[in-house]
Amino acid sequence: MLRFPKYILLLGLPFAALSQESNATLSNPYTSSDDIAGGQRAFLSQCAACHGADGRGGNAGPDLSVLKRASSDESLYQIINKGIPGTVMPGSSSNTSGIWQLVAYVRSIAANRQVKASGNARRGEDLYRQHGCARCHQTTAPELFTLARTRSPLELRNSILQPQVEVGDAYWSFRAKLASGATVSGQRLNEDSETIQYRTPEGQLRSLRRQQIEEITWDRTSPMPTYADKLNSADIDDLIAYLLEGRN
Amino acid sequence: MLPLLCLTALFAQVSPNRIQNANQEPHNWLTYNGTYSSQHNSPLNKINRANVHRLRLAWVHQARSLEKFEVTPLVVDGVMYIVEAPNTVQALDASSGRLYWTYTHKLPEVTYPCCGRVHRGLAIWQNTLYLTTHDAKLIALDASTGRKQWEVTVADYRDGYSLTVAPLVVGDRVILGPAGGELGIQGFLAAYSAATGKLEWRFNIIPHPGEAGHETWGNDSWKYGGGSIWVTGSYDPDLNLTYWGTGNPGPDWNPSARPGDNLYTDSVIALDATTGKLKWHFQFTPHDEWDWDAAQVPVLADITFRGQIRKVILWANRNGFYYVLDRATGEFLFGKPFVKQTWAKGLDDSGRPQKLPNRGPSRTGTQTWPGVQGGTNWYAPAYSPRTNLFFLNAWEDYHSTYFTWEQEYEKGKWYAGGGVKAPVPPTSREAIVTRPPDHGYATIRALDPATARVVWEHPLRDMSESGLLTTAGGLLFSGSREGHFFALDEATGKKLWSRYLGGQVIATPITYQHEGQQYIAIAAGNSLFTFALAD
């Protein structure tokens, strides 16, 4: 016997049609502004303690403006309804319409980030190729379309003009003098109490035991040069438009 | 019937007397905390400083559950009993890991745990195991067969109650209380007849109208006051007192909704184990604004304090202060911060914190040390009478930003009245760790129990939610969120042995002995690992 999610039946939708179209996913029937407001109220009481009052991440829950797990409303519904096993994310006790309202509100958090840039994305794509951005950003440097999902146009502009101002801890590099006399360096990828995992400038993956290290110096700056002298303001708008298009 | 009768007759009975004298049979681990004093200290010494480098994997039990694995096993005469979260009990051969039986309590589709469907372990009495459940039931199982003997409903789970605690058996009673401090419960501690499940006494952690302490709740806020129980208490047979740490008041981060001290939240309560009457209490964090449960294991020890041998409780609290209390009277003897804290000027002569202004949650967020997970939390500390050292897992230089907002109580819903942001995830391991150490780190500290002087420490890169075990082999075992499990010299803190287990340790290690072989067991990731000396 075929089994259908309970909410398909609860919504009274013609499930024969759904079952024939196996690729179809349910879209949210509760998307009015009242529904979003209802979802926001429920969010504040049920979700905000972990995900933050604005849904942008908090103590235990990730930033919901960048949904990694829920590509469709239906999958988001499932996550809210059932929770995520093995994590602190519980299933919601809300009823069907309440969960759909939460889906609507969470989608609105993400939608609020969907800002459009004023530049010409096609010209931005040309600039991206012309300046060889991919050479670094598709290898060791942050992947730009992913980065653009969590950054505002202003933040992206600042990063292009003043890359040294902010470099995330995931991109720190180090140079270590070992007890053996050798010196090693690279980009730190992960670490714990006993080891450091890193990528050498040649791209090799290596792991170092802390007890081997005699002296270590950290470089928290970015190797990216400024583009202030290579791109004018309109160029940067175009480049940002291309990145934002890619993220969306 | 004959085979079953034979089985029952052959099976070793865990009498109240055996539990009370658990330190005389260190080859077993008869209660969640090992013994009534909860020192997490074992007299076993076959594994010791000289040979711990030969410690090797003996067996692994891979859980089918993907929930966090927080269990502390029981071991009785070669049989290990564990709970796979949420509510599956298993009996294993303690020397091979092979299963004897398994029992699963079927839960309703929706239950109301605050922080994952976790479970911490079992209690045993005679030939009966006691399982607490997420739908707030107490279930008695035959230890030989895994069959249910009886079940009682402790509370209505639909009101936000859940049970995650390993009960404590004292005499012929099973003592436990409910979790749900973020769901507006009215916390209590209750004792049930171990034989029949009949309720024998109940102490209201949130005092009801007419009960002492009720006046510490303004505006009817007691109705949703929290005060949960989720970590197993201790017991002093000479005083017949049982000691339990209580959870936070609710709503967690909207303290203006609950004027007053909010007794008996964030406290240690000392109850007569026979009657459930309150003998004394000590509240660590009156009118808590940060969610700093006193859900720590009460460590009972007899130490030299200012020249006199005193019967004390040693308590490193989530609020960042370390306390020494007289366990007969509750008298505050000593207190001092053991990690960075920015919320109190200090403690007054009675041990009450002298709060600094504007350190609680606010609309725009208030940054306060320690963070929401506290200076330490529920994972067991340890005390070694050999070295007279108190060991704990501290979260140093760790802060959170605390927010508040108004929230109406709704049955079965989160009722926290605010939220928290912290640079460090509270209970889940990050796959990749690159954040700077100045966001906080865990460190295993050995304190002089009378003065809180740090005798040695073993800092880690990441946080840790691992409990501690000290043994007469001169060893201190612990693990980390990183996935390491290791042995330190209990006298110096020097690391003597370590293994990477690949999953976070969020449990407390135990030791036991069977057929002449000493074992060390720890849950990590979704598996239970057991180690023994290589031949």
Q: 3-class SS at A34?
A: helix
Contact yes or no for A87 and B428 at CB 8 A: yes
Which H or E run contains A153? helix A153-161
d(CA B152, CA B149): 11
Contact yes or no for B427 and A88 at CB 8 A: yes
Backbone angles phi, psi at B397, to 5 degrees: 55, 40
- A:22-51 residues touching chain B, CB 8 A cutoff: 44-46, 48-51
- A:56-115 residues touching chain B, CB 8 A cutoff: 57-60, 85-88, 90-91, 93
Which residue in A59, A93, A172 is closest to B400 by CB distance? A59
Q: Which residues of A touch B253 (CB under 8 A)?
A: 49
Best mutation target among A10, A43, A88 (most B Cβ atoms within 10 Å) is A88
Average pLDDT over residues A2-12: 36
Contact yes or no for B483 and A91 at CB 8 A: no
* Other CB atoms within 10 Å distance of the CB of residue A34: 11
Residues in chain A, total? 248
Q: What is the CA angle B197-B201-B207, rounded to 5? A: 135
Q: Is A80 left (phi over 0), alpha (psi -120 to 50) or beta?
A: alpha
Which residue in B67, B253, B484 is closest to A193 by CB distance? B484
In the DSSP assignment, the letter for residue B216 is: G
Backbone angles phi, psi at A165, to 5 degrees: -65, -40
Q: Which of B477, B488, B462 is nearest to B522 (CA)?
A: B477
Q: Write out the two tokens for A37.
A: 């407001």
Backbone angles phi, psi at B133, to 5 degrees: -130, 160
d(CA B470, CA B35): 13
Question: In the sheet where B389-396 sits, what is the strand order?
Answer: B382-384, B389-396, B441-447, B454-459
* pLDDT above 80: residue A45: no
d(CA B387, CA B443): 19
| CB of B455 less than 8 A from some CB of A | no
Are A103 and A24 in contact by the 8 Å Cβ rule? The answer is no
**At A245, is the pLDDT very low, low, confident or very high (cuts 50, 70, 90)?**
confident
Which residue in B252, B421, B462 is closest to A58 by CB distance? B421
Which H or E run contains B234? strand B234-236
Contact yes or no for A88 and B482 at CB 8 A: no
What residues of B act catalytically?
291
Contact yes or no for A90 and B113 at CB 8 A: yes
Are B148 and B137 in contact by the 8 Å Cβ rule? The answer is no
Are B340 and B394 in contact by the 8 Å Cβ rule? The answer is no
Q: Write out the two tokens for B12.
A: 């070793």
Q: Look at strands B173-176 and B168-170 and give their pairing.
A: antiparallel
d(CA A82, CA A52): 20
Alpha-carbon separation of residue B181 from B7, B205, B265 (angstroms): 42, 11, 10
Contacts with B355 (C-beta within 8 Å, 6 or more apart), sequence order: B343, B344, B345
Alpha-carbon separation of residue A107 from A44, A68, A95 (angstroms): 15, 12, 18
| CB of B414 less than 8 A from some CB of A | yes
| CB of B457 less than 8 A from some CB of A | no
Contact yes or no for A192 and B462 at CB 8 A: yes
* pLDDT above 60: residue A14: no
pLDDT tens-digit series, residues A169-200? 888 899 999 999 999 999 999 999 999 999 89
Residue A225, min C-alpha distance to chain B (Å)? 23
pLDDT value for B509: 98
Residues in chain B, total? 535
pLDDT value for A155: 79
Backbone angles phi, psi at A8, to 5 degrees: -65, -45
* Omega of the bond leading into B249 within 30 degrees of 0 (cis): no
Contact yes or no for B483 and A192 at CB 8 A: yes
Residue with tokens 């109220």: A41
Contact yes or no for B428 and A190 at CB 8 A: no
pLDDT value for A43: 86
pLDDT value for B427: 73
Q: Which of B71, B55, B50 is nearest to B486 (CA)?
A: B55
Which residue in B400, B428, B482 is closest to A192 by CB distance? B482
Q: What is the dihedral of CA A44, A49, A51, A55, to 10 degrees?
A: 30
**At A10, is the pLDDT very low, low, confident or very high (cuts 50, 70, 90)?**
very low
Q: Which residues of A touch B67 (CB under 8 A)?
A: 85-86
First to last CA, chain A: 39
d(CA B429, CA B465): 10
Q: What is A37-106 written as a DSSP string?
A: HHHHHHHHHHTHHHH-TTSS--SSS--TTS-SS-SSHHHHHHHHHH--TTSS-PPP---HHHHHHHHHHH
pLDDT value for A22: 42
In this prediction, the residues of chain B whose per-residue pLDDT falls under 70 are: 1-12
Long-range contacts of the stretch B27-30 (C-beta < 8 A, 24+): B27/B75, B27/B512, B27/B513, B27/B514, B28/B75, B28/B76, B28/B77, B28/B512, B29/B72, B29/B73, B29/B74, B29/B75, B29/B510, B29/B511, B29/B512, B30/B74, B30/B75, B30/B76, B30/B124
| CB of B317 less than 8 A from some CB of A | no
Q: Which of B241, B290, B236 is nearest to B416 (CA)?
A: B290
Contact yes or no for B434 and A52 at CB 8 A: no
Best mutation target among B109, B161, B414 (most A Cβ atoms within 10 Å) is B414
Best mutation target among A93, A102, A171, A209 (most B Cβ atoms within 10 Å) is A93
Q: Look at strands B441-447 and B454-459 and give their pairing.
A: antiparallel
Backbone angles phi, psi at B179, to 5 degrees: -85, 170
Are B419 and A59 in contact by the 8 Å Cβ rule? The answer is yes
Which residue in A52, A93, A190 is closest to B412 by CB distance? A93
Which H or E run contains B123? strand B123-125
| CB of A192 less than 8 A from some CB of B | yes
Best mutation target among A45, A54, A169 (most B Cβ atoms within 10 Å) is A45
pLDDT tens-digit series, residues A130-141? 998 888 888 778
Which residue in B68, B414, B426 is closest to A59 by CB distance? B426
| CB of B502 less than 8 A from some CB of A | no
Which residue in A57, A58, A190 is closest to B432 by CB distance? A190
Are A127 and A233 in contact by the 8 Å Cβ rule? The answer is no
d(CA A221, CA A174): 11
| CB of B438 less than 8 A from some CB of A | no
Contact yes or no for B414 and A49 at CB 8 A: yes
d(CA B252, CA B415): 8
pLDDT tens-digit series, residues A94-108? 788 888 889 888 888
Contacts with B516 (C-beta within 8 Å, 6 or more apart), sequence order: none
* Other CB atoms within 10 Å distance of the CB of residue A220: 14
* Other CB atoms within 10 Å distance of the CB of residue B17: 8
Q: Which residues of B touch A194 (CB under 8 A)?
A: 484, 498, 500
Q: Is B411 left (phi over 0), alpha (psi -120 to 50) or beta?
A: beta
Q: Write out the two tokens for B110.
A: 């929706």
Q: Write out the two tokens for B411.
A: 């049955």
pLDDT value for A84: 79
Residue B342, min C-alpha distance to chain A (Å)? 19
Sign for the CA dihedral angle at B387, B393, B397, B399 comes to negative
pTM value > 0.95: no
Q: Write out the two tokens for B189.
A: 């501690």
d(CA B48, CA B51): 6
**At A54, is the pLDDT very low, low, confident or very high (cuts 50, 70, 90)?**
confident
| CB of B503 less than 8 A from some CB of A | no
Residue A197, min C-alpha distance to chain B (Å)? 10
Q: Which residues of B touch A51 (CB under 8 A)?
A: 419
Contacts with B202 (C-beta within 8 Å, 6 or more apart), sequence order: B188, B189, B190, B191, B276
Backbone angles phi, psi at A29, to 5 degrees: -80, -5
Q: What is A115-139 written as a DSSP string?
A: PPPSS-HHHHHHHHHHTTHHHHHTT
Which residue in A49, A85, A90 is closest to B416 by CB distance? A49
Residue B419, min C-alpha distance to chain A (Å)? 4
